Amino acid sequence: MENSCILVGTFAKDEMSIRVNKTISELKDLSSSLFIKTKEEVIQRLEKVNPSTYIGKGKVYEIKSMVEKLSVDFVIFSNELSPLQKRNLENILGVNVIDRTELILRIFEKNAKTTISKLESELAKYVYLLPRLTGKGISMSQTGGGVGTRGPGEKKLEYDRRYIEKRIDILKRKIKDYQKSINEKNKNRKKLFKITLFGYTNAGKTTIMNRLTGSDFYTDDKLFTTLDTVTRKIERYIVITDTVGFFSDLPHQVIESFKLTIEESADSDLKLFVIDISDPYVELVIEDMHSIINQLNLNRGEIYFVFNKIDLLINFERIEYYKNVYPNSIFVSAKSGENIDRLKELIKNNFYSVLDYFEIKVSSDRLPELLKIVNSRGILLNIDGDKNNVVKFYIPKKYSKLIRSDFA
C-alpha cells in the first residue's frame, strides 16, 4: 500500500524561487522513491528558526489540521530537524515526522543490496544517529537494526551510544578491508584504460553503462537506484565504472560513507559526467555537480560532460546552448541509442591518445625482454618473424621513453 505525506519546504526569506522550486521537486522525487505520495506542499519562508518546532507554532497547527483532513502518514521537512524539534512536531502532529537527511538515508537503506553498499548505508545511518541520541532512545527507530526504542534513561542512552560507536568503528574497518581486497584483486590485472561515469542520480548513468557494455543492470526512474561502483569491460583493455549518484546537498553522512568507493574512481583515465539535459533545473544541477566535483577531488584528468535524454527535448536550443558553453561535451540518448556511437568514438580516441604506436625491429635474443614489457603494459598487435623480428604494439605514452632508449 502506498503511504502519503505533506511536504514542508522551509527557506530563508531571500531564497531564490527557482531554488525553492527545485528543492520541493526533489523532495517529492525523494518521497516517491520510498513510495510516499505527496498530497500537499507547504512552503515556509522563515525569518528565524523556532528552536522547539523549527517553524512557528501557528504554522504547526495549520499543518496539523491538514494532516487530519488528508489523513497522511508522514510530514516531511526539507531542512534538518534536531531530535527535540522532531519529537515536539510528532507530538503535536500525531504522525511520523521525517527530515530530508533521514529520507535520503532510508532510500539508501532500501536500495542497498550488496555487501559493500549495505555497510556504507549502515555507516551513514549510524553517523547520523550518534549525535541525535537522546534519553528517549533512538529517533530513527523504525529503520534501526538491533537497537531498541524503549527505555528512556541514562543507562540506556549510554548503552546505545557505546553500541553505535563500536558499530561505526567496525563498519569503517570492514569497508576499508573490502576496498583493500578489491585493490589486491585488481593489482595483478593489467593496467587498463579506466572510464568512470559520474553524475546526478537518475541522469542515466546505468543506462549508458548498459548501452556501452551490453549489460543489464537495473535502472529505474527513482532516486539512488545504483549504490555500488560496478566495473565492466567495454572491450579488451577498456573498462567502465558506474558510481552512486550525486544529489544537491547530499548529507555529509552519506558523502563520508561513500567517499572511499568514489575516490577509488577518482584516478580513472576518462571521467564522464552524465547530465539529464531535459531536467528543468539542469543549470542548477550543473552548478551542484561542480561543487561535488571539487568536494570529492574529481577534477583531475580528462573530463567530459555527457548530456543525456536528448530524446525528451522538444526543441534543440538547449543543445546549441550547451554546445557553446561546453564545446567538448556530447549529446546522447541512452534510451534511443542516438549518438551513442559518438560516445564510443570519444572513448576510443581518448584511449588511443594515451598510447603510442611502435614498430620495432629487435634481435631474437632481446625479443623476450621486449615482449615481457609489451605483454604486461601494452597491447601486442603482432610479431613479424620472417626476417628480423618486427614487433608491432601500442604502449601507454609514459613507457615510450623507456622503449625508445632500450630498443629503438
β-sheet with 389-396: strand ranges across:
355-362, 389-396, 379-384
- Nearest residue (CB) to Mg ion, 30 versus 127: 30
Contacts with ligand GTP by CB under 6 A lie at 199, 201-207, 219-221, 223-226, 245, 308-309, 311-312, 333-335
d(CA 261, CA 239): 16
What part of residues 214-233 is at the interface with Mg ion (CB under 5 A)? Answer: 225-226
d(CA 89, CA 96): 9
- Nearest residue (CB) to Mg ion, 144 versus 199: 199
- Nearest residue (CB) to Mg ion, 139 versus 201: 201
Rounded to the nearest whole angstrom, what is the least distance from the CB of residue 120 to ligand GTP in the complex? Answer: 14
Stretch that binds Mg ion, among 75-83, 149-157, 171-179, 205-213 (CB under 5 A): 205-213
Half-sphere exposure of 309 (CA within 13 A, CB side): 17
Rounded to the nearest whole angstrom, what is the least distance from the CB of residue 332 to ligand GTP in the complex? Answer: 7
- Nearest residue (CB) to ligand GTP, 85 versus 225: 225
Residue 329 binding partner per list ligand GTP, Mg ion, none, with a CB distance cut-off of 5 to 8 Å that depends on partner kind: none
Cell matching residue 381: 598487435
E strands within 181-251? 193-199, 230-235, 238-242
Rounded to the nearest whole angstrom, what is the least distance from the CB of residue 121 to ligand GTP in the complex? Answer: 14
Closest CB to ligand GTP: residue number: 245
Burial class (CB in 10 A: 0-12, 13-18, 19+), 111: buried
d(CA 156, CA 164): 12
- In the block, which residue shows the cell 550518534? 130
- Nearest residue (CB) to Mg ion, 76 versus 343: 343
d(CA 393, CA 372): 12
Residue 88 binding partner per list Mg ion, ligand GTP, none, with a CB distance cut-off of 5 to 8 Å that depends on partner kind: none
Rule CB under 5 A: choose which of 206, 257, 261, 333 binds Mg ion.
Answer: 206
Residue 323 binding partner per list Mg ion, ligand GTP, none, with a CB distance cut-off of 5 to 8 Å that depends on partner kind: none
Burial class (CB in 10 A: 0-12, 13-18, 19+), 98: buried
Q: State the residues that interact with Mg ion by CB under 5 A.
A: 206, 225-226
